[in-house]
Chains A and B, each alone.
Chain A
Amino acid sequence: MVKVLLWGSLADLAGGAREVEVEADTLRALLDGLARDHPGLRSELSRGISVSIDGRIYNDSWFTPITPESEVVLLKRLQGG
């Protein structure tokens, strides 16, 4: 199981838990697991998010490996200028 840290208002949509656990070994499995286990997150997930894995930010790479020790943080989708 991977621990996933949610941002404040996202946590509200997941029933208030700031941290949820998902069975996942890749980013894709993580996102699928979140949507499956926490239907309240689906709208935000579909709007696009970024994920920080051990301090590095990932947007799209489904098969980025994740281990149970990874620090995983969901972020609002970032946009540059």
Chain B
Amino acid sequence: MRFEAPRSVEEAVTALAGQTGAHVLAGGTDLLVKLRSEMIEPELIVDIKRIKGVREIAAEKGGWRIGAAVSGAEMGEHAGLVADWPGVVEAAGLIGSTQVQGRATLAGNLCNASPAADSVPAMVAAGAVARIVGPEGTRDLAVIDVPKGPGKTALARGEFIVSIFLPAKAPRSGDAYLRFIPRTEMDIAVVGCGISLSLDEADRVTAARVALGAVGPKVILVEAAAEAIKRRVLDEAALADLAAACSKAATPIDDKRGTVDFRRHVAGVLARRAAVIAAARAKGDKA
């Protein structure tokens, strides 16, 4: 196995495209576990952290461009990003321990393509877009279209994600992400739910995106859940409809982390709770 730490996107693309069994290293919190357990045996590891700009959070068109090597801890320390997309920041902040937070990245969480990735439902709810570079140049792809199934992504050979873009936050909008785990920390999500919504002056929902994690082979954007609350004030009835839509949309499996029934039910519970937080944020309440 070889190790390279290129200084430019071009060098990185050349290295990745020129070698079968090449893996990208950003935070490394998934890659090194796989390496250690002999799940993968790379020929080449390309550390992208020394590429200019990948460790930066930059303002762009009213939104934020987050470099592929920005860690969860760095996101949590960025006041502007926290103010606009607290749900995404919290979701990233739920990945692993404090130690893992020092390294783990949004891009890595996305490319690992785990159905249970915490940041992905939050990014999907936020309408995030991944910027992908590769031998054919640069392209932008909605985050929801990046994972294709467990461990599978839409990235071609030689391609990697160089940044994630979170769009400008609309007025009177807010986002939130909640997950369920058996302990209070250190677990993989049994169910995750990200919600982004906007309210009018009468607190009626004008726009909403609801995404579920860990209840299907990849993140699920639940259109029916968004429809269930649009044009409504988030009262008990609306929240119940939201929860029901999420439970219905979930297509989970039984495994060591949870059962089908549990996941379906809790998908609704989390959606309801996350919606309340997102709505409070949209109203400007401290939450």
Are A and B close enough to touch in the complex, i.e. CB under 8 Å?
Answer: no
Which A positions have Cβ atoms within 8 angstroms of B?
none
